[in-house]
Amino acid sequence: MEENVVTRNFIQNIIEEDLRSGRCDHIVTRFPPEPNGYLHIGHAKSILLNYGLAQEYNGQFNVRFDDTNPTKERVEFVNSIKEDIAWLGADCGEHLYFASNYFEKMYETAVKLIKKGKAYVCDLTPEQIREYRGTLTEPGKESPYRNRSVEENLALFEAMKNGEVEDGARVLRAKIDMASPNINMRDPILYRVSRMTHHNTGDDWCIYPMYDFAHPIEDAIEGITHSICTLEFEDHRPLYDWVLVEGEWKKTPEDTPKQIEFAKLYLTNVVTGKRYIKKLVEDGTVDGWDDPRLVTIAALKRRGFTPESIQKFVELCGVSKADSSVDYAMLAYCIREDLKMKRPRMMAVLDPIKLVIDNYPEGQVEELTAENNLENPELGSRTIPFGRELYIEREDFMEEPVKKYFRLFPGNEVRLMHAYFVTCTGCEKDENGNVTVVHCTYDPETKAGSGFEGRKVKGTIHWVPAAEAKDVTVRLYENLIDEEKGVYNEDGSMNINPDSLTVCNAKVEPALMDAKAYDSYQFVRQGFFVADAKDSAPGNPVFNRIVSLKSSFKLPTT
Ligand code: ATP
Ligand code: MG
């Protein structure tokens, strides 16, 4: 019998129990980005998790912009987030919402809480509020404004709403318990005054709800059943339930919407965290939010990652309650696996040096046939012009070979990929002793595809024809941060790898000049590359290395 063991994650268990017990009869999940930056790989995990659960249980997936803080939010971010979610393949259909469209309902809930004696307007300064809050070991102190009458609170809250109160002068607070062991329950702030123009509601409002108050109401309005968030909100869950129960959006804390927390995704050797990415962008360390060295979704796309590779990655990461860091090599593994059968294998020489075949007839050009992908015949073949002068990688020749060097050195024979065996006869040098040209002779009997079996050689090298090769810019990337050297310097700044970008003037097969934005290829022996979407011009692509071919990651076997 075929065994089909599917590991369930703890969220699936919760959902199944809720469906079984009748706590809900269908599920609605959501992804709630705040439009204050671009999405990154961690958000991709959250998006695909929420979307995947909705798919699996035949439910609904909402995207809701959590745009309740106009100080940091911009339309540019709204647009990039929409684009990224669509690119990942998470389709919310018509269920695209903005929290700012619920401001009226949130306001009504606040008024309801005031009327129930569960919220009050407080005049303490932000510093005093912090001071009165107490610590993990000491209880907080009650605000002198805590016992204002309902009428006074209603009037003051109305004044806040009408713009009669200075920014920061007064806030609306929940009246819960200043002695609670959970600091989040010590009369948290629900509303603040901020006379900012909002990207969606303009100047309609000058009071804005705090996340902990707004989020549960947003979930309730949309009928979210399972509100999945990251671990740092675990201690906020009692407040989430308090707002919904006291605000009369649900009857008991066990009802839906319910908050469920999972561990954030962290990756080694890269910067996750919107705040940190924003800093790298703003101080010019990287070239914008989509710089291919970042792990924003826009950057991953530009770097040549595919939605499929990210879906696979997220699947391999799993869902857990324990914080941990995933090796970047796993992400690299996923894109390599995705592309290796799908994309053609071409020849590109990143650090070219000329190779002259002295016994090859001058002026002769042969069109050699090359399979596009030996493991996937469906990709067909192409022809490559071959002549007397070629370019090879500088590192494929050594005048004095080191041990176990099987490439070109005087007297040694190698195979030129898709072409002939050649034997090195020597080299030319400039006045500084640098090698400028390598010489060889070829054996016409050894043509690839001719069935020649006379002898074997240990090295195969790639090449491009000197006359027909095209010059292109190729960019090689390394991690922005080397964790082994420490993420932070002593002064607290980030330890940025100065060699994270290398630009090469490469020579490539003419066929590569047709590459369009996001077209990707394997360059034999060098890795996978993609035509850059921003810097390529028609007929003149710039290539980014997505990943090299070597993998330090092995899929765990179970
Ligand atoms: P950051 O932590 O990078 O500053 P954020 O949490 O402030 O991001 P939001 O726009 O508020 O960004 O996040 C939207 C959703 O994405 C939230 O539900 C959040 O929990 C989730 N999320 C954010 N970062 C990660 C991560 N690293 N792994 C998984 N989910 C994440
Ligand atoms: Mg956030």
Select from 212, 230, 296 the residue to mutate for testing ligand 1; criterion: most ligand atoms less than 8 Å from CB: 230
Distance 101 CA to ligand 2 centre (A): 19
Find out whether 54 and 61 touch, Cβ atoms under 8 Å.
yes
Which residues of the chain carry a pLDDT beneath 70? 1-7, 557-558
Question: Could you tell me where the DSSP H helices lie in 272-327?
Answer: 274-282, 297-303, 307-317
Number of Cβ atoms within 10 Å of the Cβ of 234: 13
Counting ligands in written order, which one lies closest to the CA of residue 230?
1
Distance 220 CA to ligand 1 centre (A): 20
- Burial environment of residue 357 by CB neighbours within 10 A (0 to 12, 13 to 18, 19 or more): buried
For 140-162, give the secondary structure using H, E and C: CCCCCCCCCCHHHHHHHHHHHHC
Counting ligands in written order, which one lies closest to the CA of residue 38?
1
Atom in ligand 1 nearest the alpha carbon of residue 39: 10
Give the residue, by CA position, lying nearest to ligand 1 atom 27.
42
Residues 122-156 as b/e (b if ≥16 CB within 10 A, e otherwise) read bebeeeebeebbbeeeeebeebebeebeeeebeeb
Select from 9, 41, 43, 323 the residue to mutate for testing ligand 1; criterion: most ligand atoms less than 8 Å from CB: 43
Q: Compute the residue count for the chain.
A: 558
Distance 224 CA to ligand 2 centre (A): 18
Distance 535 CA to ligand 1 centre (A): 30
Report the distance separating Cα 436 and Cα 67, nearest Å: 60
Atom in ligand 1 nearest the alpha carbon of residue 36: 10
Cis omega before residue 216 (within 30°)?
A: no
Tokens of 145: 């404004």
At 294 the pLDDT is 96
At 4 the pLDDT is 45
Give the residue, by CA position, lying nearest to ligand 1 atom 5.
274
At 31 the pLDDT is 98
Report the distance separating Cα 541 and Cα 554, nearest Å: 33
Give the residue, by CA position, lying nearest to ligand 1 atom 2.
273
At 6 the pLDDT is 56
Tokens of 221: 């309005």
Tell me phi and psi for residue 489, to 5 degrees. -85, 175
Residues framing ligand 1 (Cβ under 6 A): 32-34, 42-43, 45-46, 229-230, 264-265, 272-275
- For the entire predicted model, the pTM comes to 0.93
Note the Cα 212 to chain centre separation in Å: 26
Atom in ligand 1 nearest the alpha carbon of residue 228: 18
Counting ligands in written order, which one lies closest to the CA of residue 42?
1
Find out whether 68 and 122 touch, Cβ atoms under 8 Å.
no
Residues 81-110 as b/e (b if ≥16 CB within 10 A, e otherwise) read bbebbebbebebeeeebbbbebbeebbebb
Note the Cα 328 to chain centre separation in Å: 11
Summarised one tens digit per residue, pLDDT across range 268-283 is 888 888 999 999 999 9
At 73 the pLDDT is 86
Counting ligands in written order, which one lies closest to the CA of residue 275?
1
Find out whether 411 and 489 touch, Cβ atoms under 8 Å.
no
Q: Which amino acid is at 524?
A: V
